[in-house]
Structure 1
Amino acid sequence: MRTEVDRQAYRTKLAFDWADDEALYGLGSHEEGMYNLRGQHQYLYQQNMKAVVPVLVSTRGYGIVADSYAFMMFHDDAFGSYLSTEADAEMDYYFVAGPELDEVVRGIRYLTGKAPMLPKWAYGYVQSKERYTSSAELIETVREYRARGLPLDCIVLDWKSWTGELWGQKTLDPERFPDPGKMMEALHGMNARLMVSIWPIMNPDSDNHREMTEQGGLLANRATYDAFQDKARALYWKQANEGLFVHGIDAWWCDCTEPFEADWKGAVRPEPEERLRINTDEAKLYIDPQFINAYSLLHSRGIYEGQRRTNERKRVVNLTRSAYAGQHRYGTITWSGDISANWDTLRKQIPDGLNFCATGSPYWTLDIGGFFVRDKPDQWFWSGDYDEGVDDLGYRELYVRWFQYGTFLPMFRSHGTDTPREIWRFGEPGEPFYEALATFLSLRYRLLPYIYSLAFRVYRDDYTLMRALPFDFRHDARVYDIGDQYMFGPALLVNPVTEPMYYDSGSRPLEDRSETRSVYLPSGSLWYDFWDGTSYEGGALIEAAAPIARIPLYVRAGSIVPMGDEIQHAEDDTFGGRLYVRVYAGRSGSFELYEDEGDSYDYEKGVFAITPLQWDEGSRTLTIGERRGAYPGMLAVREIVVQLFEPALEPDLPPAPAVRTLRYTGSRAEAIF
């Protein structure tokens, strides 16, 4: 073997001198549950459960974007405070001034690109598991959701949709999926979409592999397509289009976008430094060391550009396991990888997601309930706590809490192996776990007018939907280390429950457990309990009620929260578009209701409508302004029910909202209280 010098590259280091009271967030989604990154260190390489976005944001009102695709390390410990890269021609980074974190994110997206809108259905519920095996099973599962009156917008076809062992082939097995077009007609006829898992790795006996080989489109491992080549990306899309998209497939699940998993084997989990060495050494066998973090970015680009060339009427939805700065401009949502079902993992996922979204990458999700539910001692990563799966009452409780948290994520998606995931697997109607799941499933759909309006702000204003508390309360230092609470949009303070109250694993009952959790209400605002309307002054730590039927959820004074009826899918018009506008008194506030067709890229051409909502605290008036814009299918007239929440006049009396009902035709209207 002969070694030839290709070029020179350098190790680089960007050193920092932080202020004593400064907190840091970002770097992507990792599995350790770090929140404030001060005093921490992190290894930045792509791997299952590691999605790298080399961006830091500071409570001092700025961000740092490292422009490097190489392996990086972040340190703020006894070894120093720095961000280093392994192989670069030069140190290249950007300083992004705020001072507010929303302004920092706006600067990051100026550098890395806009986040396009996802279709409206993508903000509904996505049902997945490992795995649905046939057309019949997919259709029957959706039919059962509809029969039970449980909302649903998408079902997922995971791996092995291909024939036999032809891993990565982008066609469906004709025995189990005999008529893909007819299957899609049936799913679409029930107002459900289908997401299909596709892989960059291909079995050498498959047609897709042979075609890639003939066109020189594989990496040197002869299994993985070379996303760094324009022609290979174009061919990969051609295969996905001809094998799947032409049948009406709605969304992609680009799994294994790292794409090397060298350490996922054996009974003993390697130490972090050993995992780092194993995985980066493997990646560098086939990818230039300067670009080992870039595969997912380019893979996502190929899917996005290919679909947009093919069909502008269907927005790209691409669920990926890895990420990089700017990948969001390709219609991606990143999920946190193959996590395990236990309470410790649930706790850690909350700050993991907040740090990902702090980087300017707006769409993040996870496997509700954990991917691995059981424990397999011979495989270190298969480490769930519930060998009986859904038959274990301890797992049912964990799943409900995970589901309640997932209700307030950018994508609301259940997935995993070892045990079923459909709502009815967790009990029967009238039973506590089933009813809790049904309640939060319904709540997600009632909140769609609020969520979809904020999704437009993500596109137009470079907004962040899932917000670490310093985004809104940067001047309250008490929030800097609170990694298990966050804002979902401008109004909702979400406080997931991350401790068991009723059952341990093995269905063992727990005794003397409080049905509460501590919640810090940030200073500078009055807060309302979403469930009963009780108000609280901010700047206080309270013990909030958290029975299995709910999690602590609070609304900031001055908020306007548009909600809908209890619909069955995102485009359900059973109730004629009736809108419930919740107004939380205490200060003036505003909100823009956004509406469009729900799909297509016509919104980029201005085909949408915005209705301004303005609450004036002094005059106690909600003004619904003149609707601006139009789109095909827009309602000419709708009923709007305005509900005003304000502090109770008597401390012992439960507050009840005042109600006004309006007939809105698009012209200015007022609700006066």
Structure 2
Amino acid sequence: MKYFYSWFLFLSLVFASTAQEIHWENTAPGVWKGTLGEAEKYNLLTASGAIPNFTALTKLGKPPFPMSKDKISGRLQDGKTYLQLPLIKGEEIYGFGLNFKTIHQRGRILRLHVDHYGGQDNGRTHAPVPFYVTSEGYGVFINSSRYLDIYAGSGSRLDSDNPAEALDRNTDPLWTATPYSDAVEILIPAKGVEFYIFAGPSMLEAIQRFNLFNGGGPIPPRWGLGFTQRVHRLYDQKQVLAEAEEFESKGYPLDFIGLEPGWQSKSYPNTFAWDPTRFPHPEKLIQQLKDKNISLNLWINPYVSPEADFYNTLKPYYGSHTVWAGAVPDLSIPEAQALYWKTFNKEHVLPGVSGYKIDEVDGYDRWLWPDVARFPSGLAAEQMRQTYGLLVQKQSSQLFRDQNRRTYGLVRASNGGGVSFPYVIYNDYYDHRDFITALINSGFSGLLWTPEARASKSAEEWLRRFQTVVFSPMAMINAWASNTKPWSYPEVAEEVKEMALLRMKMMPYWYSAFADYHFEGIPPFRAMQLESGFTLKPQGPKNELTDLEENPYEEAIKKEITDQYMAGPSLLVAPLFAGEKSRSVVLPKGNWYDFYTGIYVGNGEIITVEGRLDQIPVFVKDGGIIPMMKSRLHAPGKGERYDLEIFHYGEAPSHFSLYDDDGISYDYEKGHYSWREIKVFKGSDEQWKGSISPAKAQKPNNIENIRWVFMTEGNGKNPLK
């Protein structure tokens, strides 16, 4: 009887935990799909509708599969899927979405779960993208709309090829509570999964492939890269116009204004109808702002008030639970989509509203629908939670696409598959340093994040926050509660104005960087680890207790770099924070120059920067070309020509691809755009010279006159002012 019971237990374990064959498909150059078990049909890619850019992927070449396929394994057990991918000694892991405190992810345990950020990098965040990239130059994307448990090199297995060494805690100083692990292990609560491997060979190339496979990043309208002010939540029509006039009279740039919840007749939950008292003539307001070259953005969250005109029409498509007593439409159903967005199109988009700020599609658990909720589509509540941010981005942006008008807005949640959507993530968390870490992490996961400014404890903090806003995807003050203005701190009002005008001056550079994001998949804002000359490939295991690096530079770049980042192809941004008189900056290998003066600052070393109140430290790599235009209060409109100023830094000849289109439509998707090649070189007389390729016939050309500025060492002045 004892023998029979043991045999029965053995068979039960065998059938309960079944190793599965992984089916592989080469879906694009350098991209492979693995399928394990019965993958669910509803996933992140189906929710987002992401369409790969195969042309751009092909241009990246056809690298080999980046690891041994036999090292990737999976099994099904208890209706769940277990996936295991290998790691080698010294391999670093980055990604897993929008983290606020950590860059390196190896050794971490995460529960990827869309939620409002709660102060810890534990996977519960606004965009828990199940994509990671490693220092070995490949990426992995788990295409599941479920909550995922990630053990990123944290589980030490008995059957490991490189098992952790058993040490005696009593006597061995190298004993650790987190022994070595050689795998990323992922638990998917479903009977199968599909996942993707992206080859490099560099980390940046793997990320490019991930971004391009998801459609490439958005190209915002030109006005979207200007300056935006979100006004107080209870402003009325007259106050909005007065604020726009005050920006102009004081000489501060302004491209779009954001209205907060008070524009609606009722909010939390929402009617989505203009309040007739505060906004009696919304179409007139839209036109008056348009006449001033200012666009209008509207705050919403998706939850429908019983007093909304279309509340009863949508009743068959609501989920079982409410949010603030508002109904939750099942936006995965085409019929629900058509009914829901019809009002938005008629009342907002067609009259000329430029975009939306979509709030509260992330969490918290105490007010968002619970995981026991039911939806008419039959999707699980967790699947709806993981993809609702994708659904609202896709469907709202389609309203503008149907009008051939680009939009650029804000959203509180996203996920894998959402790379191409013209939305920037924000939240209610307000730590300046952590905002910069989030900006750095966004580039690993196909996200855009804004370190917005709201209010500050001092004028210095206000200026420091504003400076980082200028070097981010969206230059925004969010005054919904504080009613702050750029000039709210008079001691630094002029410095703030100079920074805002610098943002406008740099628009040709930013616009080209976003074009690189769209056509090549290169994140416009990204971690130092993705910059050539910065990441050192580990040379084998190092014991940090006994074998510290002798070179402090090499040691520094292996640690967390959470407060400096790359912006566009050539700029290194190293923010100062309130109270800092100086800071250290880790420079990649190669010559680097001060952005403001062109003076040489270092090469592959750690430098100390003395703080100046009127400047955020920015450095340019050797040969960097920064195309700019003259300072202005509004972005150039369609067909509006502007003078170009081309700045070159350092001693290296170089080139830059300048992007141009009409700035507002999607005609670039039909080929109506241009790239103009800028070259800087030394002539036979050893003097710097520049050239730009001619504009092609029938292609956009918004450039009038061109001025060259060669920022040679020894200048010492700031020609940017």
Match of 2:428 among 335, 338, 359: 338
Q: Distance in 1 between matches of 2:591 and 2:468?
A: 23
**Which secondary structure does the structure 2 equivalent of 1:160 belong to?**
helix
What residue is the counterpart of 1:608 in the other structure? Answer: 673
Select between 608-617 and 189-198 the one with higher mean Cα deviation: 608-617
Q: Distance in 1 between matches of 2:638 and 2:399?
A: 32
- TM-score, structure 2 normalization: 0.76
Tell whether 2:499 aligns with 1:443: no
Tell whether 2:196 aligns with 1:94: yes
Q: In angstroms, what is the RMSD of aligned CA positions?
A: 2.7
What residue is the counterpart of 1:301 in the other structure? Answer: 394
Shift of 1:475: 5.4
- Over 3 Å counting, the alpha-carbon distance change for 1:617 and 1:92 in structure 2 is farther
What residue is the counterpart of 1:4 in the other structure? Answer: none
Structure number with larger C-alpha Rg:
2
What residue is the counterpart of 2:704 in the other structure? Answer: 638
**Which secondary structure does the structure 1 equivalent of 2:314 belong to?**
helix
Shift of 1:79: 4.1
**Which secondary structure does the structure 1 equivalent of 2:329 belong to?**
coil
Tell whether 2:579 aligns with 1:491: no
Q: What is the correspondence of 1:106-121 to structure 2 with a 5 Å cutoff?
A: 106-121=208-223
Deviations 1:90-128 (A, max 9, x none): 132111000123321232134322333211100111111
For the 8 Å contact 2:231–2:240, the answer to whether it is kept is no
Instruction: State the one-letter code of the partner of 1:571.
Output: P
For the 8 Å contact 2:257–2:295, the answer to whether it is kept is yes
What residue is the counterpart of 1:317 in the other structure? Answer: 408
What residue is the counterpart of 2:106 in the other structure? Answer: 38
Instruction: State the one-letter code of the partner of 2:319.
Output: L
Deviations 1:621-664 (A, max 9, x none): 322222235456x45x722111112233xxxxx546999xxxxx
- Over 3 Å counting, the alpha-carbon distance change for 1:475 and 1:398 in structure 2 is closer
Deviations 1:125-180 (A, max 9, x none): 11114425211111111110011110110110111322145732221111111111
For the 8 Å contact 2:470–2:499, the answer to whether it is kept is yes
Instruction: State the one-letter code of the partner of 2:217.
Output: A
What residue is the counterpart of 1:182 in the other structure? Answer: 284
For the 8 Å contact 2:528–2:534, the answer to whether it is kept is no
Select between 598-607 and 444-453 the one with higher mean Cα deviation: 598-607
Instruction: State the one-letter code of the partner of 1:52.
Output: P
For the 8 Å contact 2:218–2:514, the answer to whether it is kept is no
What residue is the counterpart of 2:437 in the other structure? Answer: 351
Q: Distance in 2 between matches of 1:403 and 1:83?
A: 41
- Over 3 Å counting, the alpha-carbon distance change for 1:206 and 1:496 in structure 2 is same
What residue is the counterpart of 2:47 in the other structure? Answer: none
- Over 3 Å counting, the alpha-carbon distance change for 1:631 and 1:178 in structure 2 is farther
Q: Distance in 2 between matches of 1:90 and 1:62?
A: 23
**Which secondary structure does the structure 1 equivalent of 2:482 belong to?**
coil
Select between 609-618 and 457-466 the one with higher mean Cα deviation: 609-618
Select between 39-48 and 448-457 the one with higher mean Cα deviation: 39-48
Q: Distance in 2 between matches of 1:53 and 1:451?
A: 25
Match of 1:122 among 224, 227, 231: 224
Q: Distance in 1 between matches of 2:718 and 2:695?
A: 26
Q: Distance in 2 between matches of 1:539 and 1:177?
A: 57
Instruction: State the one-letter code of the partner of 1:401.
Output: R
Deviations 1:321-373 (A, max 9, x none): 100112132322222x1113xxxx21112222222221133x3224324xxxx
Instruction: State the one-letter code of the partner of 1:644.
Output: F
Deviations 1:388-442 (A, max 9, x none): x66xxx3332222111111111111121554222112121xxx3x2122112101
**Which secondary structure does the structure 2 equivalent of 1:437 belong to?**
helix
Q: Distance in 1 between matches of 2:145 and 2:435?
A: 25
Tell whether 2:354 aligns with 1:262: no
Shift of 1:66: 0.8
- Over 3 Å counting, the alpha-carbon distance change for 1:130 and 1:44 in structure 2 is farther
For the 8 Å contact 1:450–1:562, the answer to whether it is kept is yes
For the 8 Å contact 1:28–1:352, the answer to whether it is kept is no
Match of 2:297 among 166, 173, 195: 195
Select between 172-181 and 43-52 the one with higher mean Cα deviation: 43-52
**Which secondary structure does the structure 2 equivalent of 1:330 belong to?**
coil
Q: Distance in 2 between matches of 1:300 and 1:440?
A: 30
Match of 1:48 among 116, 122, 126: 116
Shift of 1:242: 1.7
What residue is the counterpart of 2:262 in the other structure? Answer: 160
Q: Distance in 2 between matches of 1:643 and 1:352?
A: 34
Gaps of 5+ in 1: 1-6, 265-278, 370-388, 502-514, 649-653, 660-673
For the 8 Å contact 1:284–1:292, the answer to whether it is kept is no
Match of 1:242 among 346, 368, 371: 346
Instruction: State the one-letter code of the partner of 1:626.
Output: P
Tell whether 2:671 aligns with 1:571: no
Deviations 1:37-65 (A, max 9, x none): 12333321111232221110112111111
Shift of 1:207: 1.7
Tell whether 2:652 aligns with 1:559: no
What residue is the counterpart of 2:30 in the other structure? Answer: none
Tell whether 2:449 aligns with 1:364: yes
- Over 3 Å counting, the alpha-carbon distance change for 1:582 and 1:68 in structure 2 is same
Deviations 1:564-592 (A, max 9, x none): 11111111799961211101132221111
Shift of 1:237: 1.4
For the 8 Å contact 1:195–1:250, the answer to whether it is kept is yes
- Over 3 Å counting, the alpha-carbon distance change for 1:71 and 1:99 in structure 2 is same
Match of 1:543 among 564, 588, 608: 608
Instruction: State the one-letter code of the partner of 2:423.
Output: T
- Over 3 Å counting, the alpha-carbon distance change for 1:121 and 1:83 in structure 2 is farther
Instruction: State the one-letter code of the partner of 1:612.
Output: E
For the 8 Å contact 1:150–1:568, the answer to whether it is kept is yes
Q: Distance in 2 between matches of 1:141 and 1:12?
A: 55
- Over 3 Å counting, the alpha-carbon distance change for 1:358 and 1:165 in structure 2 is closer
**Which secondary structure does the structure 2 equivalent of 1:156 belong to?**
strand
What residue is the counterpart of 2:646 in the other structure? Answer: 581
Q: Distance in 2 between matches of 1:434 and 1:106?
A: 39
Instruction: State the one-letter code of the partner of 1:396.
Output: A
For the 8 Å contact 2:644–2:705, the answer to whether it is kept is yes
Deviations 1:179-233 (A, max 9, x none): 11100111111111111012211122322322211xx221111511111111112
Shift of 1:545: 2.0
- TM-score, structure 1 normalization: 0.81
Tell whether 2:76 aligns with 1:10: no
Match of 1:209 among 311, 329, 339: 311
- Over 3 Å counting, the alpha-carbon distance change for 1:573 and 1:315 in structure 2 is closer
For the 8 Å contact 2:272–2:308, the answer to whether it is kept is no
- Over 3 Å counting, the alpha-carbon distance change for 1:532 and 1:300 in structure 2 is same
For the 8 Å contact 1:161–1:173, the answer to whether it is kept is yes
**Which secondary structure does the structure 1 equivalent of 2:129 belong to?**
strand
Instruction: State the one-letter code of the partner of 1:70.
Output: R
- Over 3 Å counting, the alpha-carbon distance change for 1:255 and 1:656 in structure 2 is closer
Q: What is the correspondence of 1:589-604 to structure 2 with a 5 Å cutoff?
A: 589-604=654-669
Instruction: State the one-letter code of the partner of 2:583.
Output: R
Q: Distance in 1 between matches of 2:154 and 2:675?
A: 52
Tell whether 2:152 aligns with 1:76: yes
What residue is the counterpart of 1:225 in the other structure? Answer: 329
Tell whether 2:522 aligns with 1:463: yes
For the 8 Å contact 2:228–2:257, the answer to whether it is kept is yes
Q: Distance in 1 between matches of 2:276 and 2:718?
A: 57
What residue is the counterpart of 2:594 in the other structure? Answer: 529
What residue is the counterpart of 2:19 in the other structure? Answer: none
